[in-house]
A and B are shown apart, each in its own frame.
Chain A
Amino acid sequence: MCFQDLEVEFYLFLVYNCALKISGRTSVNKTISLWGQSLYRQFSLMLANQPKLSYYLHPLLRWNKPGVHPDYHSARIVDFRWETDQMLSVWLEPAASWSGFTAGQHLLVTMMHQGRYISRSFSISSSAALFTQQKQIRISCRIQPQGEFTQALAAGIAALPHLSISDAMGDFVLEPKANSALEQSIVMVAAGSGITPLWSMLSSLRCWTSPIVLFYCVKTAVQAAFLTELNQLAAKQPLFKVQLIETAMTGRLNLVQRLQTHTNFSLQKALYYFCGPEAMSRQFIDDLIQQGVSATAIHTELFGLARGGSEGPVKQALMIQQGKVISVDVAAGVPLLQAAEQQGLSPRFGCRIGVCYQCVCQKKSGQVLNLRTGQISGDGPEQIQLCISAAHSDLQIEL
């Protein structure tokens, strides 16, 4: 019985902690905080039937700010500007609860569009100084012709008062100067909107110790955001070089070849930072590793998710069940629920016709096709009904 279990657990926990405290085996603060967390959860479940009280109070406190997502921080839109005809920069002032970022990190941005929350991740494109001095950050979004989020953002930006943002995430950041004794040079490659985290890193750098070269690949120079700023930085900072590569004219960049033309440049001694489509990064990594570059010297951030996912009718769904990842192959038009069961998984289910909502679970990424309505979802995190969803791209699902 639950409440008895809980009580027993509670006292056991107390005794256990006293023992630990006496024997000095664990940090007391940590156990107390864990204990407090579970106590708080029980308390808010009792009081408000919610895992946290903020969910109960959210409709009250945010009644005039419907766009603020209860799981995220509110961020006031300060200003916006079109960098190119396809890239929109938005300056945000995050609420005091937001804990800051390291240049190169990304965050999940959520907005309310036609009554529903939609999310997409963006790299922060502003410098660390902008946040420390003015409490502002900037995100720069390439407006995708098919993208629900970016289209809605571009259309609504003038009237939007705020967005919701998650904590900053990701480890695509400049390594601290651990190897500066070796005078390692840094090679950066940005493709299209992949410039955003790299520009954040470059504009955040306070003291330059190693040479940095940036290859900036765009179709044509018109589409290159932050080009003026990059050229200004290169003029001011002798250790920095920027090379614009217009793929429409000169074709794709062959990184290894290009680097080998430089005399006095050792491939093996450099650090690499790539941000762009997966195919591009994969190619560069393969080439570099063949040249004997250590994999630990290469950092990548995937950008511009490959829409449509893998080729052919069979998609791959990674289903995460209590931390375990199971790969499930899903043929076109087959409900995910059925595919999961054929793989030996047993997700919660009910009516299997989309009526009872027992099989709803969290999709982390990828697009699904709703078999009842024929609609194709966005590729951000959202809840889906397994029994009437088929894979439209490769997926990650939390069961």
Chain B
Amino acid sequence: MRLNELQLAELASELDQVKAGVMSQLGDKEARYIRRMLLTQRLSAISGRILMVLGFLTPWLWVLGVALLALAKILDNMEIGHNVLHGQYDWMNDPVLHSQRFEWDIACDAGSWKRTHNFEHHTYTNIIGKDRDFGYGLLRLSNDFRWRLRNLWQFVTYLVLSTLFQWGVSYHELAGERVFFGKKKPDRINSVSHSDLKKAFFGKGARQLFKDYVFFPLIAGPMWLWVLAGNLLANIIRNLWTSTVIFCGHFTADVHTFTQQQCEGESRGHWYYRQILGSSNFTGPRWFHILTGHLSCQIEHHLFPDMPALHYLTVAPQVQAIAKKYGIAYNSGSFLRQYATVVGRIIRYSFPGGKATAA
């Protein structure tokens, strides 16, 4: 159902009210929450790295260490990093939690992430040709894209991408800018020079590699191989988890796409409308939401990217009611159901054709 401009304006003002209700109350509760999250992350990272070395006592300690390090990386990337980089905690005026200074435990440089994710993806969500996150230039996920032969094995491409997800994310901007391969697209304007992009990419990547595969194995002495393998495993677990969460937020069966013409000079109301249709939620217990960085509430996140994420669950019923009032589909389901439709979507569009998803 298409909404007229008047309805869109009303939609915007209702959603603005929901947001203002939370943002005016920010204070001690949110600050305590994110600081506790930082403490948990630090404790699990440090204890994880120590337990891995203690694996010579019993391998179970090594297993526990890997799990804790993976947990630390997931918390750092999702509930802390992704949300902090959105500026959700800038109001705290804390240098450790400020979007401008924050750097995370992932191969992707924070500055590059803010340009491609915060700006490109969140501004042009699911607009084909503008939001390169829709398929990452690797996967055909709607019939807006012409079918190519390589799409035939795109499920394997997807598995590889998921396993190496942090490197995909970190290379994302350089791919878009055609830094190494391909002809530069004339319509892309970017304030960052190619040499700065390369510098950030190699600098951050090298530091991450050095830490996990040289520094910590070296100081582990005779346990170096266990530590190296444990770090690799923790990184892969984090990669698979983050990739899965993100795919469930944007590439489920009922997610809509948009054309550039639809969104030219769009109103704030239409931007909101597009965010609801371009995202999908999934349900689960509280700890599960925390592990996803509350991206289980992808719809709320896309409506209010700078609202501290712990509030997404509390505003979700209000958002759902508003969506229902305006007849906008609110895409939510269990994690397994949503993930099954993601897999279905990747496989379906491996082949030519497929139904239109443009809203």
Contacts and interface: CB of A to CB of B under 8 A. Distances in A.
Contacts of A114: 26-28, 31
A50 interface: yes
The size bracket of the interface on A is: 35 or more
Given A66-B31, A373-B23, 4 more contacts: A58-B96, A63-B35, A357-B86, A357-B100
B115 interface: yes
B32 A356 contact: no
B123 interface: yes
Contacts of A3: 202-203, 206
Interface string A47-86: 1011100011111100100100111000000000000000
A121 to B, nearest CB: 15
A348 B32 CA distance: 31
A58 B43 CA distance: 12
A292 interface: no
B260 to A, nearest CB: 17
B31 A47 contact: no
A55 B202 CA distance: 24
Interface string A4-30: 111000000000000000000000000
B35 A357 contact: no
Interface in A97-140: 112, 114-118
B29 to A, nearest CB: 7
Nearest to A61: B42
A186 interface: no
A116 B91 contact: yes
A357 B29 contact: no
Contacts of B210: 46
Interface of B: 20, 23, 26-32, 35, 38-39, 42-43, 46, 85-87, 90-96, 98-101, 103-105, 114-115, 118-119, 122-123, 191, 198-200, 202-203, 206-207, 210-211, 215, 305-306
A356 B35 contact: no
Contacts of A59: 35, 38-39, 42, 96
A346 interface: yes
Contacts of A71: 95
A87 to B, nearest CB: 26
Given A350-B118, A383-B98, A116 B92 contact: yes
Contact of B93 (A6, A66, A382): A382
Nearest to A3: B206
A298 B120 CA distance: 55
A377 to B, nearest CB: 10
A228 B31 CA distance: 43
B87 A47 contact: no
Nearest to B102: A49
B118 A357 contact: yes
Interface string A191-226: 000000000000000000000000000000000000
27 contacts: A3-B203, A45-B207, A47-B211, A58-B96, A59-B42, A59-B96, A60-B46, A63-B39, A66-B32, A69-B94, A70-B95, A115-B28, A115-B31, A115-B32, A116-B93, A117-B92, A118-B93, A350-B118, A350-B119, A355-B123, A356-B114, A356-B118, A356-B119, A356-B122, A357-B90, A383-B90, A383-B93
